[in-house]
Amino acid sequence: MNKTFRAATAGVLMLSTSFWSVVAAAAPISADQAMQMSISAATSQQRAEVVSWLQRDDVRQELTRMGVDSAQAVERVSALSDEEVLRLHGRIDQAQAAGDGLVGALVFIFVLLLVTDLLGLTKVFPFTRSMR
């Protein structure tokens, strides 16, 4: 009985260690891939900050005054490229640092929405005609 117990224990240990060595073998990634993953995480955080900024009451009121639905603005932010989110986040940071730059950031959003309407990517403003 002692010999069969040792054999069974040895078999279980060999299987478990061979299994873990296969699982632990991860493929190495390049520095570019690691950098891209960190940039992607930073961009998603900045995108979330822009969305939370757009959901503030004073920003919603200003967007409504300019004729932009705040829900459509939030949807538009989710459709922006990473570079556009980075620029928009930078403009918002500058606006918050300047104190009265809120109007500048809202004008930037308005122009961004207007340009995408003119290109035919969206239809937010009824007074625009698509180039498509």
pLDDT in tens, 55-107: 888 878 887 888 888 788 888 877 777 778 888 878 877 766 665 556 777 77
- Nearest Cα residue to 54 out of 102, 94, 98: 102
Torsion of the alpha carbons at 7, 13, 19 and 20, rounded to the nearest 10: -170
Which residue has 């990517």 as its token pair?
Answer: 121
Q: For the whole prediction, is pTM greater than 0.85?
A: no
- What residues does each domain of the chain span? 43-132
